[in-house]
Amino acid sequence: MSEFLIRPIQPKDNEALAKIVRNALAEFGANKPGTVYFDPTTDQLYELFQQPGAFYWVATTHSTADHPDGTLLGGAGIFPSEGLPEGTCELVKMYLKPETRGLGLGGALIRRTMEAAKSQGYQQMYLETLPELHQAVKVYEKYGFHYLPGPLGNTGHFGCDLWMLKVL
């Protein structure tokens, strides 16, 4: 698969996206309390990302006769999480189907989130993750995220124990 589309999230994406998020966490043994696996907003991502300063993109295949809207491959967003320093957004809910990893889709989604963050006036992007998600951590490092000694803000995801920040 070499081509995909990135578009804003739509209400019809909620169910498939929640499944991608939870399947990815389970795949890496990261489906534990204090993560988005148990976060009820994972089932209503379209609604969650309607607030000011928040954006979410999904990646899909091109449309086909069987799938006129394409097949959902994953997504990523930015969110003005509570308690973050002024000018900082959080990179959130970046998850991909297993067969799409390593093809550049994660990087494309990160670039899209960074562009949007800058256009909204954010100067920094923060994220929380888990060591179990080692493939994603490598991508974050590649895009210039640096490790922090502890969490920023009040995301409610106490199950995450890696924190990273990038100046945009």
**In the prediction, which pLDDT does 31 show?**
82
Class of domain 5-167: alpha beta
pTM of whole model > 0.85?
yes
Please identify which residue in the block is written with the tokens 């490790």: 147
Give the tens place of pLDDT for each residue, 110-159.
Answer: 999 999 999 999 999 999 988 888 888 899 999 999 999 999 987 766 66
pLDDT of residue 161: 85
**pLDDT at residue 61, rounded to an integer:** 85
Low-confidence stretches of the chain (pLDDT beneath 50)? 1
Which pLDDT score is estimated for 37? 80
User: Residue 103's pLDDT is what?
Assistant: 85
pLDDT for res 1 = 45
